[in-house]
Amino acid sequence: MAADVPRYDFRAAEPKWQAAWNSLDCFRVEDVPADGKPKYYVLEMFPYPSGKIHMGHVRNYTLGDVVARYKRARGYSVMHPMGWDAFGLPAENAARERGIHPGRWTWDNIAAMRAELKRMGLSIDWAREFATCDPAYYGQQQKLFLSMLEAGLAERRESWVNWDPVDNTVLANEQVIDGRGWRSGALVEKKRLSQWVLRITDYAPELLSALDGLKRWPERVRLMQANWIGRSEGARMSFAMAEPQGEIDSIEVYTTRPDTLFGMSFLAVAAEHPLASLVAEHDPAAAAFVADCRSRGTSEAVLETLEKKGFPTGLEVVNPLTGCRHPVWIANFVLMEYGTGALFGCPAHDQRDLDFARKYGLAVTPVVLPPGVAEADMAIGDKPYDGPGLMINSGFLDGLSTDAARGAAIGELERLGVGKGVVNWRLRDWGVSRQRYWGCPIPVIHCDTCGVVPVPVAELPLRLPDDVTFDRPGNPLDHHPTWKHVSCPACGAAARRETDTFDTFVDSSWYFARFCSPLAEEPLVRDAVDHWLPVDQYIGGIEHAILHLLYSRFFTRAMKQTGAVAAAEPFDGLFTQGMVTHESYKDLQGKWLYPEEVQRRQDGMMVHRETGEDVVVGRVEAMSKSKRNTVDPGAIISRYGADTARWFILSDNPPERDMEWTEAGVVGAYRFTQRLFRLAENVPVAPAGEMPASFEGPARILRRAAHRTIVAVTEALESFAFNVAVAKLYEFANALAEAERAADEPGMLWARQEAVGIAARLISPMMPHLAEEISARFGHDGLVAQTRWPEADPALLVVDQVRLAVQVMGKLRGTIEVAPNTPEAEVLALAEAEPNVLRALAGKRVVKRVYVVNRIVNFVLAGS
RNA sequence: GCCCGCCUGGCGGAAUGGUAGACGCAGCGGACUUAAAAUCCGCAGUCCUUUGGGCGUGCCGGUUCGAGUCCGGCGGCGGGCACCA
């Protein structure tokens, strides 16, 4: 390498600047600041401490850091914290597989990941760091839970769980594979357990209506949440049994289509419905059918291909509006969890009902006439009609519109006292009990005389015992020799601790609030949370669009109800990033290969780095361990530096889309860091003296480029168009290179020094280390990290010449240069005189002349 | 099946209804070099009869002086979903 080419030594520079930021506490903020600055809370979804960061983390935390650094430069007091979502199953799996204690495994992972994150140069206030598995955090969570319990927001309820009968353990959905337990391979059963639920459904109306106020959320996330909450209007009604069965003399049904009651042909109940159980007691065939429904998993793939099946009970119900009798079936497509677990079937106007009716030869009676169809022509083939229309075959409803009929039917049901109009919600209460060790203990005690008794607050945190074993299936807390045996805090009698722990979604439902006062001896400090909440910009993956965000919205409302916070909504702005993808590779034996095992030969073919064997290049897809198409961020940072990794991940494409990680792209980004460094290095540091009174020629051009770039980059950062900000900085680098060739022009030294100073500040959110390195060379006061964002000089943004497009009949025929806001007559004369335009207009009659100031001229010609 | 999103050069992408393809990657040409790497400069949608013209933002139509952008329909790709009564 030539000695005279300056090179940027990121290996020395990056740790140096990180240490400088650290020693000056650049990113530290107070719980309740008194600096009078406007606040800005930037948060990225905190990571699960798996042990290594992956490219998704790099993308997530780079995006957040750009926002944090930019807002800081704009004069905000920015809180940008980091923590660890540290409870969860992988730690228990590690314990079972490798004999490591989950706590040890987790804390080691945290240490490793913290070191990796720090190498990225993130502007994080590390003093706020916490892990959810720390008793200092989960003890506060236990307090929150007790306050919710007192407020009636938590209660015990029976609910269904996936049960592995061989391992005698509850399985998470992800542990059920094709209906079998992932370890034992046993067919999973559904089992009823008494569990803690949080009453999120109490807030269903508000969680839905408040979505409209979340203006800075992606539309599709709001839509997904709205669909998940699932408000529907309909009727709840009961059908009398023709012959009562034991206790059951009627069946309760929810319907959104009471208007189609006259088209009813059957009634169907879920396999878990009490009537199904009753029938199954006496009828082995029914019992077999019910068992068959129950053994089937609930995974989507199964449901997709599921054929609609039913079992006729031989019983009948009476339709209260028509007086007709209809058969009662047990059907596999009826969900016990939704509505009342029973429905009435109107095959003419519902696809599932129609499929079912065709299969079992049930009646299909149309009752809604589509607009424009004669009643005589109305027929149902294999498609139902589910649109609006006029009622037919419907007694007193005949002739009404479907809308009117809906109201009239409900009115009649109410008059008869057999039903009423209701609003129904799809959202279900949140079951938070998990039969696991590595989670936050639920702080209650079960006493035979007193029932459920809260653990006294003075005894919190209720710690997990460390001395647990994972040598047998089930919950180690349950097996622990002493932990669960306590005396009742109320009566003193022998009692048992709750051995369930919380769903880890509970941990992540309030961590953003805890960051405001992470060391407090109470869950939240009002002054601190009321200052910082809501989070101004939350950034994370779309995969959390529903559960995490909805639970957090609920939790914040619950905390508001118990007086812990003022805000109802946790996240004012939400940005959902795309995935990081990569090509995948297989060798000729079909074994997946890591990118570093593969290289591109001269002819472009991909071959194995060591064997030289051909490699099959597969799809570009989300990085995953199983496909081995992962790239280790640590290795990238070691080879190219954090700034390069950050720059590339921002430059490739808009951040909401999936990006493809490519070696070529990283190399390109690396080259740019070097180029920019050289361009800055080539500007003499000699004092440029007083600012010249005026600039002409290349110096003026450079200054205009610099100030236009300020505007362009600012706009791009404000709108999350980071790839555009990068592109504008590439352009600016080209302008700097241009200026280098005109270095001897008057005013140039001053202009170049100004330009480099502007460049350093504009790149600083994206490449903070390089920004410092460049800036330091000119002896600028202080760190770029503490410097204000540059302001564009309006005088330099004024354009003195605009190029107008001249069109003839909408087609470009030439361009003309004029002063801004040139009067119409003058512009039109110039445009018509442009040689090529002149040619296009020759012999034609112009019927209209369009002039949009500073934009365009268009001549419209007569004739065809 | 339902809901949502997307579709622009070889590739990633840019473009308040106003010169489509900024910027980058890959490519090509040149300078420098004994040579290579690195670097620097330049070219580059496509076709043709090339001082110019035709075509061109998935396809078909519409609105407009003017459409990648707005509207209607169709197709393809991707994502979400708990068969939601």
- Cα angle: A798, vertex A719, A782; to 5 degrees: 75
Q: Is the CB of A218 under 7 A from strand B?
A: no
Q: Identify any residues that bridge with A593 across adjacent strands, giving them in sequence order.
A: A585
Q: Is the CB of A722 under 7 A from strand B?
A: no
- Model confidence over A89-137: pLDDT tens digits? 889 888 888 889 999 999 999 999 999 999 999 999 999 999 999 999 9
Query: How far, in Å, CA of A57 to CA of A80, rounded?
Result: 15
Which chain A residues in 140-199 sit with Cβ < 7 A of strand B?
A: none
Q: Is the CB of A350 under 7 A from strand B?
A: yes
ipTM of this predicted structure: 0.92
The percentage of chain A sitting over the pLDDT mark of 90, rounded to a whole number, equals 58
- Model confidence over A614-653: pLDDT tens digits? 777 777 777 777 777 888 899 999 999 999 999 999 998 8
pLDDT bin (cut points 50, 70, 90) of residue A473 is confident
Query: How far, in Å, CA of A523 to CA of A824, rounded?
Result: 68
Strand pairing category for A574-577 and A537-541:
parallel
- Asked whether residue A482 carries a pLDDT value surpassing 90, the answer given is yes
SS3 state at A468: coil
H helix intervals, A230-371: 274-282, 284-295, 300-305, 351-360
- Model confidence over A791-850: pLDDT tens digits? 999 999 988 888 899 999 989 998 898 999 999 999 999 999 988 898 888 888 899 999
Query: How far, in Å, CA of A82 to CA of A382, rounded?
Result: 56
- Model confidence over A563-618: pLDDT tens digits? 999 998 999 999 998 888 887 788 888 778 888 788 776 666 677 877 878 777 77
Strand ranges in A94-247 using DSSP code E only, listed in sequence order:
154-164, 169-171, 176-177, 180-181, 189-198, 231-245
> Which nucleotide in the DNA or RNA is closest to residue A230, CA to C1'?
B84
Give the phi and the psi of residue A531 in degrees, each rounded to 5: -75, -50
In the structure, how far is the CA atom of residue A671 from the C1' atom of nucleotide B42, in angstroms? 19
Q: Is the CB of A544 under 7 A from strand B?
A: no
Average pLDDT, chain A: 89
- Model confidence over A129-151: pLDDT tens digits? 999 999 999 999 999 999 999 99
What amino acid is encoded at A179 in this protein?
G
Query: How far, in Å, CA of A195 to CA of A444, rounded?
Result: 12
Which secondary structure element, helix H or strand E, spans residue A757, and what is its range?
helix A748-763
Mean pLDDT of A496-525: 94
Strand B, nucleotides < 7 Å from a protein CB: these are 1, 3-5, 12-16, 18-20, 22-26, 37-41, 52-54, 65-67, 79-85
Q: Is the CB of A230 under 7 A from strand B?
A: yes
Q: Is the CB of A37 under 7 A from strand B?
A: no
- Model confidence over A257-305: pLDDT tens digits? 999 999 999 999 988 889 998 999 889 999 988 887 766 545 333 444 4
Query: How far, in Å, CA of A598 to CA of A662, rounded?
Result: 13
> Which nucleotide in the DNA or RNA is closest to residue A810, CA to C1'?
B66
For helices A10-23 and A642-651, angle between their N-to-C axes, nearest 10 degrees: 90
| DSSP one-letter code for A237 | E
Strand ranges in A341-439 using DSSP code E only, listed in sequence order:
342-345, 368-369, 390-391, 419-425, 430-431, 433-434
Cβ burial of A727 (10 Å; 0-12, 13-18, 19+) is middle
- Asked whether residue A3 carries a pLDDT value surpassing 70, the answer given is no
pLDDT bin (cut points 50, 70, 90) of residue A709 is very high
Which chain A residues in 352-391 sit with Cβ < 7 A of strand B?
A: 352
In the structure, how far is the CA atom of residue A619 from the C1' atom of nucleotide B59, in angstroms? 27
> Which nucleotide in the DNA or RNA is closest to residue A426, CA to C1'?
B84
> Which nucleotide in the DNA or RNA is closest to residue A298, CA to C1'?
B82
Query: How far, in Å, CA of A52 to CA of A839, rounded?
Result: 67
Buried b (16+ CB within 10 A) or exposed e, A818-831: beeebeeeebbebb
- Asked whether residue A739 carries a pLDDT value surpassing 90, the answer given is yes
Closest residue to B80 (CA to C1') is A224
SS3 state at A360: helix
- Cα angle: A313, vertex A314, A316; to 5 degrees: 100
Q: Is the CB of A659 under 7 A from strand B?
A: yes
**Taking a C-beta distance cutoff of 8 angstroms, is the pair A38, A79 a contact?**
no
User: Which pLDDT belongs to residue A271?
Assistant: 86
Query: How far, in Å, CA of A339 to CA of A362, rounded?
Result: 24
Short-list A726, A703, A702, A700, CA closest to A713: A726
User: Which pLDDT belongs to residue A93?
Assistant: 86
**Taking a C-beta distance cutoff of 8 angstroms, is the pair A554, A55 a contact?**
no
Which chain A residues in 623-642 sit with Cβ < 7 A of strand B?
A: none
Query: How far, in Å, CA of A671 to CA of A798, rounded?
Result: 33
